Amino acid sequence: MSTDASRSTTALGGRAAIWRHIFAGFSASLVGIGLARFAYTPLIPPLIQAHWFAASDVVYLGAANLAGYLLGALLGRPVAHRLTNTYTLRAMMVLVSAAFLACAFPVSVAWFFFWRLLSGVAGGAIMVLVAATVLPHVPADRKGLASGSIFLGLGVGIAASGTIVPLLLNFGLRNTWIGIAVLSAALTVATWYGWPSATKHVHAGHGLSTEKTHDPSIVRVLYAEYALMALGLVPTMVFLVDFIARGLGAGAHVGASYWILYGIGAIFGAPVYGFVADRFGGSFAIRVLSLLQVFVVAVLAVSGNQIVIGVLTLVIGSFPPGVVPMMLTRVHEVVPHDHARQQRVWSRVTTTFAAFQAVAGYAYSALFNASGGNHRLLFAIGAAALVLLVITDFASPWLARDRNDA
């Protein structure tokens, strides 16, 4: 075989390995976050109707996944330090599959809470580890697109929660949980050997890190920005369907159809936002795409036209999965050439997001009850949080300069 042919074969093999790694990451985000979190939403009415649990318990059980997500974000790196990233990710996917199967048997509220909590732990650990495991093996100019492909799983999970789950419900509530467990287990098996080798490490560069030398305050700004993103997306993520169904009086069926639109938007969110971040930079993506969300959420807060709201829903749905590759690209810009520090920063950023998402969920719920069910007020507050996010990003160079001068 000629030298050129040998190099071509090696390059093709390298690209194939990269895509296997990306597919493994996609499957992990689909199972651990997309399905583990969002498949529960369309299962809430059947859980109540089948008298598995009281309505108040079902809402309480829904919060278990968010609490677990925060716990998983905190524990992901310490666990991976002992087991390696690859073994931990495999274990988390197995754990989610087992949790789905366990939820097919409503032994008690405590039993169900325990398994919903564990599914959240797995999701948080996956969010912290998956990009750090896959992206070091991806060329620098394709990291944004690759991270978008990985976190496309979130969007597919949201879309599946509005399509596949209702179809499975035709076979009964227990069989629906079992069906989701089988799907998760199948993806776990299919990607078992798709992860980078557990013994293969991509060493950090020996050059000076931007964070270490002159950008420590920019890293702190990233924490604030991701917290504001959580505050901005929770109102529509949690209350959109209820706004359609009860706020506009359209009914539960129409509300569910809007959730499908939300899921379609979510499918495009991660790859599109990742591409924009790749092409124009993470800071540009944060500013422009956040301003887009400000506009659509502000219009949602004042509109009553269902067609207009349907179009807005497609755009709004792109934000929850889209912010992940966008922020991940920004982390890599602020902390270049140092994979270990990138992983530490990403872990802290993810933990910050998880904490503020959980706090925001309860705070918005309390405000919703106190305001007599005013959806539009919550949307307006979410839009204001995103405005503050954009202002913060524009101000970040001055914040860094002032801190360094001090």
In order, the DSSP letters of 264-330 are: HHHHHHHHHHHHHHHHH-HHHHHHHHHHHHHHHHHHHHH---HHHHHHHHHHHHTHHHHHHHHHHHH
- Phi and psi at 329, nearest 5°, equal -60, -40
Distances (CA, A) of 266 to 11, 121, 205, 352, 387: 32, 22, 35, 22, 21
Instruction: Give residue 85's identity as a one-letter amino acid code.
Output: N
Predicted local confidence at residue 211, as pLDDT:
38
The CA distance from 289 to 283, in Å, is 10
- Residue 212 CA, chain-centre distance (Å), reads 28
Predicted local confidence at residue 260, as pLDDT:
84
Predicted local confidence at residue 14, as pLDDT:
66
- The answer to whether 108 touches 396, Cβ cutoff 8 Å, is no
Residue stretches of the chain with pLDDT short of 70? 1-14, 55, 59, 141, 198-216, 252, 399-406
Which CATH number does the domain 206-406 belong to among 1.10.940.10, 1.10.10.10, 3.50.50.60, 1.20.1250.20? Answer: 1.20.1250.20
Predicted local confidence at residue 13, as pLDDT:
55
User: Nearest to residue 324, comparing CAs of 28, 90, 81?
Assistant: 28
Predicted local confidence at residue 179, as pLDDT:
94
- The answer to whether 328 touches 147, Cβ cutoff 8 Å, is yes
CATH for 11-197 is 1.20.1250.20
Domain ranges within the chain, ordered by starting residue: 11-197, 206-406
* Percent with pLDDT over 90 in the chain: 27
Predicted local confidence at residue 289, as pLDDT:
92
CA angle, 279 as apex, 275 and 285 as ends, to 5°? 70
In this structure, which long-range contacts are made by residues 54-57, counting pairs with CB atoms below 8 Å and at least 24 apart in sequence?
57/109
User: Nearest to residue 191, comparing CAs of 141, 134, 246, 230?
Assistant: 134
Predicted local confidence at residue 10, as pLDDT:
42
